[in-house]
Amino acid sequence: MSLLDFCTEGIVDRARALAKELAALPDRERMRVLNHVRQVLHEVSPMRAEPVDCVLWVPADGVRGNDYNPNTVAPPEMRLLERSIREDGFTQPIVAFKDGDAYEVVDGFHRNRVGKECPAVRGRVQGFLPVTVINQGRTDIKDRMAATIRHNRARGVHGVIPMVDIVAGMLRTGMTDDEVARELGMDADEVLRFKQCSGLPELFKEHEYSKSWE
């Protein structure tokens, strides 16, 4: 056995010993300690830059939706999502931004709802939800809004009317049309259409109009 193999085996043996200690704890205390252990391991992981490398189980009451999510799910799809989580379990964590002791949903609002509102699921996960925390450098509201839209658009689902409000809100923060387009994966014409739908003249104060009518 090489020195590397010996060291590796020793680490695994100590991990098994730790697992035995954890198994003796009550469920809720075990959950709390496991979250800390996961965070410690995440700090030395080669994949620590990837949020999904560290999934935490947090109290559902500490996870809140955001007020800018333009993704809507029709009742049949919502029932299917509930059935999926009820039958197959949580296969995807909720993506969230940590705000103090609370977690604000960036992606997974409907998974969050199922975990809270479906008695069978809430009972099974003991009132907890699986959460992965988005990179903490993205503290600005426009960054979180952009992350939510990218998640939605990547799946091909977003509501038109809320998207108008999102684009308008991002432009009001001082972002340019090009910056909004880049952050949300749009082209210039899409951004322009959403600006037009907003009916807000202040969004066009810097807009350069065509001179074709002159």
Residues in Cβ contact with 75 at an 8 Å cutoff, skipping those fewer than 6 apart: none
Bridge partner residues of 63 (DSSP): 103
Q: What is the pTM of this model?
A: 0.67
Bridge partner residues of 107 (DSSP): 95
pLDDT in tens, 1-32: 565 576 788 899 999 999 999 999 999 999 99
Indicate the residue type of 56: L
Examine the pLDDT at 115 and tell me if it is beyond 90: yes
Tokens for 6, please give them.
Answer: 């010996």
Examine the pLDDT at 130 and tell me if it is beyond 90: yes
Fold of domain 47-138: 3.90.1530
Domain ranges of the chain: 1-44, 47-138, 159-205
Cβ-based neighbour number of residue 102 at 10 Å? 13
pLDDT in tens, 27-75: 999 999 999 999 999 999 999 999 999 999 999 999 998 776 656 677 8
**Can you tell me the distance from the alpha carbon of 144 to that of 118, in angstroms, rounded to the nearest whole number?**
27
**Can you tell me the distance from the alpha carbon of 72 to that of 173, in angstroms, rounded to the nearest whole number?**
25
pLDDT in tens, 83-98: 999 999 999 999 998 8
**pLDDT for res 1:** 57
**Can you tell me the distance from the alpha carbon of 65 to that of 210, in angstroms, rounded to the nearest whole number?**
41
**Can you tell me the distance from the alpha carbon of 128 to that of 112, in angstroms, rounded to the nearest whole number?**
10
- Report the Cα–Cα distance between both ends of the chain, in Å, rounded: 84
Cβ-based neighbour number of residue 74 at 10 Å? 8
pLDDT in tens, 151-181: 666 555 544 446 777 778 778 877 888 887 8
DSSP-based three-state secondary structure for 157: coil
Examine the pLDDT at 143 and tell me if it is beyond 80: no
